[in-house]
Copies of this chain bind each other. A is one copy, B any other.
Amino acid sequence: MPNPIEFYFDFSSPYAYLGSEMIDELAAKYGRKVQWRPIMLGATFQKTGLPLLVTIPLKGEYSKHDIIRSARYYGITFKFPAKFPLSTQTAARAYYWLHGQDCAKARAFSHSVFRAYWVDGRDIADLAVVQKIAAGLGIDKNALAEAVAKPEIKERLKTETDGAIAKGMFGAPYFIVDGEPFWGADRLPQIEHWLKTGGF
């Protein structure tokens, strides 16, 4: 079995959303699985000392334009949400709870959360919104609310975040292929070249 591709992201990252719409298909083309790992991007800001991208003079304005143009370039539906940034810990905790039971359902839930925010502009920081998204996939919304409040789920998200940083993560999306890190949706062509050639 070839190594799975590790995919670290925060639901609040627009470039991670773009990556999330493309990575599974790319991986499947080369017989690879993808391990999805939502983490708390705020923790990386503490390590790098960098401000939130969109708040940086000049670069912030450019990035908002680049994100929208990149979505068009990739053919991915995208709309910048009115509420940005927002907290994604409830959604990320719900992911790990679901992942413990049903990987495929956790993956479907992730796609739904990303699209609810980056297409429909819904407030995914709100537990009620996350519950509604989950209910649409046949997930018990009361069980979800209980799960995301549990100390072991909170701890899991912290552990995953620390683990990503230990592997060098500083921004999203962050992919690791055969131990090789790739940052950004714009590195998918290099990832494809890596998968095709077995490293370059």
Q: Which residues of A contact B (CB under 8 A)?
A: 44, 47-51, 56-59, 61-62, 65-66, 69-70, 72-73, 165, 168-171, 180-181, 183-184, 186-187, 189-190, 193, 200
Contact = CB atoms under 8 A, between A and B. Distances in A.
Considering the complex of A and B, which 3 residue pairs feature the smallest CB-CB distances, nearest first?
Answer: A58-B170, A59-B170, A186-B186
B73 A200 contact: yes
Given A62-B170, A190-B69, A48 B56 contact: yes
A62 B168 contact: yes
A49 B44 contact: no
A58 B181 contact: no
Nearest to A169: B58
A72 B197 CA distance: 13
19 contacts: A44-B58, A47-B58, A48-B57, A48-B58, A48-B59, A49-B51, A49-B56, A50-B50, A58-B165, A58-B168, A58-B169, A59-B170, A62-B181, A62-B183, A69-B190, A72-B200, A73-B189, A73-B193, A186-B187
